[in-house]
Amino acid sequence: MLGVAGGIAAYKAAELCRALVQRGYTVQVVMTKAATEFIQPLTFAALTGRKVVTSLFSSGNSEETLSSAVEHIAIAQEHDLLVVAPATADILAKFAHGLADDFLSTLYLAFTGPVVLAPAMNTNMWRHAATQANLEALRARGHKIVEPEDGFLACGMIGPGRLADPESIADVVAEQLEHRHDLAGETVLITAGPTQEPLDPVRFISNRSSGKMGYALAEAAAERGARVILISGPVHLPAPRGATVVPVKTAGEMRDAVFGNLRGATMVIKAAAVADFHLSTVPQQKIKKTAARLSLELDPTPDILAELGRDKKDWLLIGFAAETENLEREARRKLQTKNCDMIVANLVGGDESGFESDHNEIALALKTGEFLRFPRASKRELADEILTQALHLRHVLAEPAHER
């Protein structure tokens, strides 16, 4: 589905439409009312050979009107991807906030597949805090944003805001459609969030993990067709669509849930921040406050990743490393000592990435000896990158060593 919103760049959507048709896609064009002020629906109808949808309701009698609305929403179920070009500041705001007052914004809410957004607008509108906040929210949902280019804009300003080249938008569409089912047939077991190790019936030791990284991985894997089992410590996040969530509290419970759900897994990804120490014997009553100093003797928890590494079968084993220094050295060390295929290393300790943030900055240490760094991005974008690299790695590891 190609959504065209009302901006001066709407005419370039015709080029994008032609590029998509030339690549063999069936394209259903949906235009906002404002878009029809800039370019005629007939242009798109001629390019696609399909009637263009310009409004939620047809102008006939009430029965026709109702059936057209139902029929139109059915479009969402029949198509594989939604690309919006140009995505105006207005349509980005509607998508970000879930408003549904025209066909395109209604369709967006009814559609569950991948979304590609190619914004185009005046430089100041692009830089405005409201637009940037809306883009952040849309990125965090896993939508792909094709950044506008710098250049001379119709309003006379020079700066970012010009619609990206239609061929490069078509490339992103192709890439997203390739991702679409590339994990079909896989069973991905993911751990996420912190663990809570009780000290008494009311207190526990835990850490700052929000679960966002692991949940982003679960969401991305499910969207790409995998069966996903998400073993989650206590977090405040909604269950990712399509994933089976197994809630746990302690490291011991997480270990049992991992090994209890391992059958059939083809990838195991350990994004959880598992507590390293716990009280082996938890007092049955609340520890009383006294003036005296309190010392607690803690024992190590089971190292689930190391145990998986020792017991390694033919699943791809991906561990995480949360470090405050020496990222590469620590990642390579954990790759070896825990017998993993990949370590996702992230620098933690700041507010901009790692724990709690919607963003992360990661590097991947691979069994092939490579060490790949990625710029700071949303956890959802990085989740897709990790899964793409994991698939590629498995492919490489399957080749005879002398051919790699």
CB 335 → ligand PMT: shortest distance, Å? Answer: 11
Q: Please report whether residue 328 would count as binding ligand PMT according to CB under 6 A.
A: no
Burial class (CB in 10 A: 0-12, 13-18, 19+), 200: middle
Minimum CB distance to ligand PMT, residue 176 (Å): 24
Query: Distance between CA 316 and CA 312 in Å, rounded?
Result: 9
Q: Which of 46, 66, 155, 184 is catalytic?
A: 155
Return the residue of 14, 53, 120, 272 that touches ligand PMT, per CB under 6 A.
272
CA distances from 218 to 47, 221, 265, 375, 392 (A): 38, 5, 14, 21, 18
- Does 274 sit near ligand PMT (CB under 6 A)? yes
Alpha helix segments (H runs only) across 203-272: 212-223, 251-260
- Indicate whether 319 belongs to the interface with ligand PMT (CB under 6 A): yes
Choosing from 3, 142, 309, 354, the residue that interacts with ligand PMT (CB under 6 A) is: 354
Judged by beta carbon, residue 8 or residue 362, the one nearer ligand PMT is 362
Q: Determine contact, residues 5/159, Cβ cutoff 8 Å.
A: no
Q: Which is nearer to ligand PMT, 100 or 279 (CB)?
A: 279
Burial (CB count <10 Å: 0-12, 13-18, 19+), residue 113? middle
Which residue has tokens 């896989």? 186
Please name the helix (run of DSSP H) or strand (run of DSSP E) that holds residue 355, with its range, or none.
none
Stretch of residues binding ligand PMT (CB under 6 A), selected from 20-28, 86-94, 99-107, 272-280? 272-280
Place of tokens 């897994």: 265
Residue 251 binding ligand PMT, by CB under 6 A: yes
Minimum distance, C-beta of residue 333 to ligand PMT, in the bound complex (Å):
10
Q: HSE, CB side, 13 Å, CA atoms: give it for residue 335.
A: 20
Cα(70)–Cα(67) distance, rounded to whole angstroms? 5
Does 364 interact with ligand PMT (rule: CB under 6 A)? no
How many angstroms separate the CA atoms of 268 and 246, rounded? 15
> Which span (63-71, 78-86, 171-179, 203-211) binds ligand PMT, by CB under 6 A?
203-211
Among residues 83, 305, 342, 347, the one that binds ligand PMT under rule CB under 6 A: 305
Q: Which range touches ligand PMT (CB under 6 A), out of 101-109, 176-184, 224-232, 300-308?
A: 300-308
Q: Is 340 a catalytic residue?
A: no
Q: Which of 52, 199, 267, 304 binds ligand PMT (CB under 6 A)?
A: 304
Let me know how many helices (H) and strands (E) the chain has, helices first.
14, 21
Stretch that binds ligand PMT, among 133-141, 182-190, 211-219, 291-299 (CB under 6 A): 211-219
For residue 396, what are the contacts with CB-CB under 8 A and spacing of at least 6?
A: 368, 404
**CA–CA distance, 330 with 340 (Å, rounded to integer):** 13
- Residue 267 found at the interface with ligand PMT (CB under 6 A): no
Name every residue whose Cβ is closer than 8 Å to that of residue 374 and which is 6 or more positions away in sequence: 361, 362, 363, 364, 382, 385
Neighbours of 261 (CB within 10 A): 17
Binding mask 7-46 for ligand PMT (x = CB under 6 A): ----------------------------------------
Residues acting as catalytic residues: 155
Binding site for ligand PMT (CB under 6 A): 193, 209-213, 251, 270-274, 276, 301, 303-305, 319-322, 334, 346, 348, 354-356
